[in-house]
Amino acid sequence: MAILLDHVNYIYNEDTPMAAHVLKDICLEIPDGQFVGVIGHTGSGKSTLMQHFNGLLRATSGHIYYNGEDIYKDDYDMKKLRSKVGLVFQYPEHQLFEIDVFSDVCFGPRNLGLDKRETELRAYDALRRVGLEDELFYQSPFDLSGGQKRRVAIAGVLAMKPDVLILDEPTAGLDPKGRDEILQQVKKLQTETGMTILLVSHSMEDVAEYVDRILVMNRGSVLFDDTPRNVFAHYRELEEVGLAAPQVTYILNELRNNGLDVDTSAITTKEAADEIMKLF
């Protein structure tokens, strides 16, 4: 079971002079339980692509299959799809609205028609999973710090018990520790529950550290689709499309250019340190 995109095209304002072809013939398979990083410059089509996964946008042509079923079939249950594929938008904390944290997280499951007991169990479980301390549960979400609000918003989606979690730049504007905390919790979710994760990010270092696979979007097409190590080996091409590799990739390449015999494929600080120590 998986998500399958088959020749998906998306054109904004089709049949008008403003038409813009933002997704071009995308074919992808995302198996269950994979942690996928999606990178690309602003306007490369990342967010548009993400909004196809739960049917918020409908492809102009092509098909999307979720667990083998065509989501564009007339009798397909879109509501169910949206509860299975959870989408956390950019700056999700702007969508918090309830009087306290716990009620805010209960909103989603209650809307699914679940009873009070199940709703509250799910909300509690979701808040624990994002690592929010119990004493904050009955505070107004507006009194929390940026990182805490972000986690409440993610919990709101987790409480729907999705099989697939899509996070659109979940760490933008957070301090470094806050970035690490959120990404570690997301990683834990993937390993503990087998949830499929799609992470849109502008931070190459973060992507290198956490994901199994990277999709690089450029002008509406998939430019690279491979493991982080293989993708970042193309760092020159990545720069040409407004991206970059993690800093350590540059260090190792610089060392190599200076005649030192190092393997340049490390993408995290620890791997780079291991590689450099081999010289000594």
> What are the residues binding other proteins (CB under 8 A)?
40-43, 143, 145-147, 169, 172-179, 202, 204-205, 239, 242-244, 246-248, 250-251, 254-255, 258, 260, 269-270, 272-273, 276-277, 279-280
We find the least distance from the C-beta atom of residue 256 to other proteins, in angstroms, to be 10
Task: Please name the residue ranges forming H helices in the chain.
Answer: 46-53, 78-84, 101-111, 116-129, 146-158, 176-193, 204-210, 228-232, 235-240, 247-257, 269-277
Q: Closest approach of Cβ 206 to other proteins, in Å?
A: 11
Nearest approach in angstroms of CB 75 to other proteins is: 39
- Characterize the bridge pairing of strands 69-70 and 20-31: unpaired
Both tokens assigned to 48? 């548009």
Closest CB to other proteins among residues 111, 145: 145
Please give the helix or strand (H or E) that residue 10 lies within, else none.
strand 2-12
User: CB of 121: closest distance to other proteins in angstroms?
Assistant: 28
When the beta carbons of 163 and 169 are compared against other proteins, the nearer one is 169
With respect to other proteins, which residue has the nearer C-beta, 87 or 208?
208
Nearest-approach distance from CB 91 to other proteins, in angstroms? 9
Q: Which is nearer to other proteins, 13 or 258 (CB)?
A: 258
Q: Of 4 and 245, which has the nearer Cβ to other proteins? A: 245
Which residue from 184, 83, 93, 106 is spatially nearest to 145, judged by alpha carbons? 93
Partnered with residue 115 across adjacent β-strands are none
